[in-house]
C-alpha cells in the first residue's frame, strides 16, 4: 500500500515537472524565435535580405492571390509553394504581410469576368488556359497565375508563372517556384521604398536616343531615380549608385574616361552595353556591305579592368529574324521574316544570380569577349551563344545572302562563346602612373579602387526597344515586333542593375534552387505493381506481427502469476 502511494506521488511529480518544462519552453519560444529547414536545398529558408526588408515594414501589405480553385497536381504544387512562401513572409513581417486566395471565376457572370480579366491585364497578369482530363474527357479552365500586392493605396500586379522558351511545362513550374520569394520580395520593396537608388544614364557619345531607350527608362523609373547625364557637365558622379552606357557610337574623350575611371576607383559600378562593330542595317540588302570597328576609345580602359571585346561578329543557328523581300505580286513587294544568324538568341547562362532561370534574350550584332589576367578582379562569364555558332573577324560582310546560305553545323563549329561578363573586385586605375588628362576636373587621383563591380555586354542593341511603325510609339523593351515575341532583355538589365547597385540585397534571393525529383518512368512501369503490393501488405503484416509478439510476451509475463 505504501509502495502504491509512493508510486502515485512520483507520477504526480513527473507530471508537474513536465508541465513546468512545457511552460518554460513556450515562454522561451515566444521570446527567441527560431525555425529549422530540414530540406536538402533549403526550400523553406528565407533570404537574409528578404527577412530584413520584411521586419522593417512600416504598414500592412495585402496580397491577393488568384491561383486557386480546381487545379491539376502540378499547379497545386505551385499554389502550395505560394502559400508556404507567404506564410513565411507573414511570420518574418510580424503579421504585417496579409494574404488571401480568391478564385475570380466564382460567382461571376461573363461580363464581370471580362472586366476582371481587363483589370488583371492592366496589372500585367495574363490568364492561362489549363488543359486537363476528367473522366476521360478533355477539359479546359481559365486560371490566373498571379497576385495583386497593395500597400499604402498603391497596387502592383505580379505574374507568378515564369515563361521559358527552352523549358518543359514541369520545368517552367519549378522555375516559378524557385522565383517566388524574389518576385514577392522585390515587388514589396518597390512599393515600400521611399528612398530610391540613383542611376545615371550616360549621354553625349551617340548613345541610344530617347525613342529607342524609353522602354529601359520606363522599367528603371519604377524602382530607381533615373537621370540623363553628360560626363563633361557632371562634377559629382558619386551621387549615382550605378552608371549605364548603352550603345555609344562616338569616341569618349580622355577627360570622360578619367571621370569614369575615378568613379570606379571610388566604388561606383558601371553597366557597359557596347557594339564593337559598326553595321549599316539599311544596306544589308547589298552584297558588299561590311562592318568595321567603332572607335569608342574605351578598349584600353576595359583591357585594364580585365576584358577585351573582340573585333568580330557572332553568327548563331539559334537566332532572331529579319524582314526580307521575297518577291512581288504585281508592283507590291512581299516581305517575310526569316532567320538572321547575326541576331543570336541567348539562352545559355551561368549559375550567377543575375541570370539564373532567365528566359531567352535577343541580341543583334554581338561580339565575343576575352579576359585578361588581372590581379584582384574576379571574372564571371554570364552569357553564352548556343552549341552551333561562330565568330567572323572584322571586316565582316553583313549581307542578307546569309539568310539563303545554309549554315551547317560544320560551319557553325564553335559553342558557348561568351558575350557577357561580370567583373568584381579591386580594379587598377587606367591612369595609374599617368598624368591627369588636360581639362579633367582637378581632384585627388586614386590608383586602386575599393571593392566594386562592372558588367560588360558586347551588344548595345540589347537595351534598344522597337518602335511601332504605325503609331510611332515605343514598344516594351524585349518585344520583337516581327515575331510578336517578348524576350527577357528587360529582366536581364534590371537584374544586372540590381546586383551592381546592391549586390547583397534582394537579388540574392534568385539563387534559390528547388530540385525536381521525378519518378523513373521505366522503373515505374517495370516494378510499379510490386511496390504497390509491398506498400499495401507490409504495414498490415507488421501490425499483425506486432500484435502476436505483444500477446505472446503478455501471456508469458502473467502465465505464472
Which 3-state string (H, E, C) describes 252-293?
A: CCHHHHHHHHHHHHCCCEEEEECCCEECCHHHCCCCCCEEEE
- Residue 37 within any structural domain of the chain: no
Q: Which three cell numbers stand for residue 454?
A: 562592372
Distance CA 324, CA 340 (A): 10
Give the residue from 501, 521, 540 where a domain finishes.
501
Would 514 be classed as within a structural domain? no
pLDDT given for residue 230 in this prediction? 92
CATH number at residue 106: 3.40.30
Q: Is 419 part of a structural domain of the chain?
A: yes
Residues 185 and 212 in one domain: no
Total number of residues shown for the chain: 561
Q: Cβ neighbours of residue 237 under 8 Å, at least 6 residues apart?
A: 200, 229, 231, 243, 259, 260, 262, 263, 268
Shared domain for 290 and 224, answered yes or no, is yes
pLDDT by residue for the chain (561 residues), tens only, comes to 555 555 577 778 888 888 888 888 777 766 655 566 556 556 667 788 888 888 888 889 999 998 887 778 888 888 888 898 899 899 888 899 999 998 877 756 777 777 887 888 888 887 777 766 655 566 667 778 889 999 988 888 888 887 766 566 777 777 788 888 888 888 888 888 767 899 999 999 999 999 999 999 999 998 899 999 999 887 789 899 999 999 999 999 999 999 999 999 999 999 999 999 999 887 777 778 889 999 999 999 999 999 999 999 999 999 998 877 655 666 666 677 788 899 999 999 999 999 988 889 999 999 999 999 999 999 999 999 999 999 999 998 888 777 767 788 888 999 999 999 999 999 999 999 888 888 776 567 888 999 999 999 999 999 999 988 888 888 999 998 888 888 999 999 999 999 999 876 777 767 665 555 555 566 666 777 787 788 888 888 888 888 888 888 887 777 765
Check whether residue 173 and residue 272 sit in a common domain.
no
pTM of the model: 0.80
Angle at 387 between CA 382 and CA 389, to 5 degrees: 90
Are 358 and 458 within one domain?
yes
Domain carrying residue 377:
198-501
DSSP codes, 17-41: HHHHHHHHHHHHHHHS------STT
Q: Are residues 84 and 212 in the same domain?
A: no
Inter-residue long-range contacts of 401-409, CB under 8 Å, 24+ positions, other chains counted: 401/287, 402/315, 402/340, 402/341, 402/342, 403/322, 403/324, 403/338, 403/339, 403/340, 407/315, 407/317, 407/341, 409/317
d(CA 337, CA 283) in angstroms, rounded, equals 17
Pair 149, 252 in one domain: no
Cell of 130: 489549363
For the chain, percent helix, then strand, then coil, each to nearest 5? Answer: 35, 25, 40
Whether 31 is covered by a domain: the verdict is no
User: Cα separation of 364 and 480, whole Å?
Assistant: 12
In terms of DSSP bridges, do strands 361-362 and 146-151 run parallel, antiparallel, or are they unpaired? unpaired
Task: Please tell me whether residue 3 adopts helix, strand or coil conformation.
Answer: helix
Same domain, 179 and 236: no
Note whether residue 241 is domain-resident: yes
Domain total of the chain:
2
Asked if 262 and 330 sit in the same domain, the reply is yes
Closest CA to 463 of 455, 452, 451: 455
CA angle 18, 24, 25 (to 5 degrees): 90
Distance of alpha carbon 160 from alpha carbon 175, whole angstroms: 10
Question: What is the rounded end-to-end Cα distance, in angstroms, of the chain?
Answer: 19
Whether 349 and 285 share a structural domain: yes
CATH number assigned to the domain comprising residue 455: 3.40.50
Residues 394 and 452 in one domain: yes
Same domain, 353 and 495: yes
416: left (phi over 0), alpha (psi -120 to 50) or beta: left
Last residue of a domain, one of 191, 218, 243: 191
> Which stretches of 193-251 are DSSP H helices?
210-221
C-alpha cell of residue 30:
515566444
- Match 529547414 to its residue by C-alpha cell: 37
Residue 170 lies in a domain: yes
Q: Check whether residue 269 and residue 388 sit in a common domain.
A: yes
The SS3 of residue 48 is: helix
Q: Are the C-beta atoms of 223 and 188 separated by less than 8 Å?
A: no
- Closest-CA residue to 512 (of 184, 122, 281): 184
Residue 251 is predicted with a pLDDT of 95
d(CA 425, CA 267): 10
522-559 b/e (C-beta count within 10 Å ≥ 16 → b) = eeeeeeeeeeeeeeeeeeeeeeeeeeeeeeeeeeeeee
Res 132: pLDDT: 62
| Nearest Cα residue to 316 out of 366, 264, 272 | 366
* 8-state DSSP, 200: E
Count Cβ atoms below 10 Å from residue 30 Cβ, excluding itself.
8
**HEC sequence for 385-454:** CCCCEEEEECCEECCCHHHHCCCCCCCCCECCCEEEEEEEECCECCCCCCCCCCCCCCCCCCCECCCEEE
Assign 540 to helix, strand or coil.
Answer: helix
Report yes or no on 519 lying in a domain. no
The reply to whether 527 falls in a domain is: no
Q: b vs e for 165-178, b when ≥16 Cβ sit within 10 Å of the residue's Cβ?
A: eebeeeebbbbbbb
Domain boundary among 191, 216, 238: 191
Q: How many CB atoms lie within 10 A of CB 444?
A: 7
Residue for grid cell 580602359: 301
Amino acid at each position: 500500500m505504501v509502495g502504491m502511494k509512493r508510486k502515485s506521488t512520483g507520477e504526480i511529480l513527473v507530471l508537474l515537472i513536465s508541465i513546468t518544462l512545457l511552460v518554460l519552453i513556450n515562454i522561451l519560444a515566444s521570446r527567441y524565435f527560431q525555425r529549422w529547414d530540414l530540406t536538402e536545398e533549403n526550400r523553406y529558408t528565407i533570404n537574409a535580405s528578404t527577412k530584413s526588408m520584411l521586419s522593417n515594414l512600416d504598414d500592412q501589405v495585402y496580397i491577393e492571390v488568384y491561383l486557386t480553385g480546381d487545379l491539376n497536381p502540378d499547379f497545386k504544387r505551385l499554389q502550395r509553394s505560394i502559400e508556404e512562401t507567404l506564410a513565411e513572409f507573414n511570420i518574418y513581417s510580424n503579421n504585417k504581410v496579409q494574404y488571401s486566395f480568391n478564385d475570380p471565376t466564382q460567382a461571376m457572370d461573363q461580363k464581370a469576368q471580362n472586366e476582371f480579366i481587363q483589370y488583371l491585364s492592366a496589372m500585367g497578369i495574363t490568364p492561362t488556359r489549363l488543359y486537363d482530363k476528367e473522366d476521360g474527357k478533355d477539359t479546359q479552365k481559365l486560371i490566373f497565375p498571379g497576385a495583386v500586392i497593395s500597400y499604402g493605396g498603391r497596387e502592383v500586379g505580379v505574374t507568378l508563372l515564369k515563361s521559358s522558351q527552352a523549358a518543359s511545362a514541369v520545368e517552367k513550374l519549378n522555375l516559378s517556384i524557385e522565383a517566388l520569394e524574389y518576385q514577392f520580395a522585390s515587388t514589396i520593396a518597390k512599393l515600400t521604398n521611399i528612398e530610391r537608388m540613383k542611376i545615371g544614364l550616360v549621354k553625349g557619345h551617340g548613345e541610344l536616343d530617347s525613342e529607342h531607350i524609353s522602354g529601359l527608362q520606363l522599367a528603371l523609373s519604377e524602382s530607381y531615380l533615373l537621370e540623363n547625364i553628360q560626363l563633361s557637365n557632371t562634377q559629382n558622379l558619386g551621387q549615382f549608385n550605378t552608371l549605364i552606357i548603352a550603345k555609344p557610337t562616338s569616341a569618349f574623350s580622355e577627360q570622360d574616361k578619367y571621370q569614369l575611371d575615378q568613379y570606379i576607383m571610388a566604388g561606383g559600378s558601371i553597366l557597359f552595353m557596347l557594339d564593337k562593330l559598326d553595321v549599316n542595317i539599311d544596306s544589308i540588302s547589298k552584297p558588299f556591305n561590311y562592318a568595321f570597328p567603332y572607335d569608342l576609345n574605351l578598349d584600353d580602359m576595359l583591357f585594364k579592368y580585365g576584358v577585351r571585346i573582340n573585333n568580330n561578329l557572332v553568327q548563331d543557328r539559334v537566332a532572331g529574324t529579319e524582314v526580307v523581300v521575297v518577291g512581288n505580286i504585281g508592283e507590291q513587294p512581299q516581305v517575310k521574316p526569316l532567320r538572321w544568324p547575326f541576331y543570336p538568341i541567348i539562352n545559355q547562362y551561368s549559375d550567377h544570380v543575375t541570370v539564373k532561370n532567365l528566359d531567352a534574350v535577343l541580341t543583334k550584332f554581338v561580339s565575343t569577349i576575352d579576359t585578361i589576367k588581372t590581379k584582384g578582379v574576379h571574372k564571371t562569364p554570364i552569357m553564352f551563344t548556343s552549341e552551333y555558332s561562330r565568330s567572323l573577324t572584322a571586316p565582316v560582310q553583313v549581307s542578307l545572302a546569309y539568310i539563303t546560305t545554309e549554315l551547317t553545323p560544320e560551319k557553325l563549329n564553335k559553342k558557348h562563346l561568351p558575350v557577357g561578363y561580370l567583373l568584381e573586385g579591386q580594379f587598377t586605375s587606367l591612369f595609374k602612373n599617368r598624368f591627369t588628362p588636360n581639362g579633367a576636373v582637378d581632384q585627388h587621383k586614386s590608383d586602386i579602387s575599393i571593392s566594386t563591380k562592372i558588367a560588360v555586354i558586347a551588344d548595345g542593341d540589347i537595351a534598344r526597344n522597337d518602335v511601332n511603325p504605325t503609331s510611332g510609339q515605343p514598344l516594351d523593351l524585349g518585344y520583337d515586333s516581327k515575331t510578336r515575341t517578348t524576350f527577357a532583355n528587360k529582366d536581364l538589365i534590371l537584374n544586372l542593375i540590381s546586383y551592381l547597385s546592391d549586390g547583397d540585397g534582394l537579388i540574392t534571393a534568385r539563387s534559390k534552387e528547388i530540385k525536381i525529383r521525378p519518378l523513373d518512368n521505366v522503373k515505374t512501369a517495370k516494378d510499379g505493381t510490386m511496390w504497390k503490393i509491398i506498400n499495401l501488405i507490409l504495414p498490415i503484416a507488421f501490425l499483425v506481427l506486432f500484435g502476436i509478439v505483444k500477446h505472446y510476451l503478455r501471456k508469458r509475463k502473467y502465465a505464472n502469476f
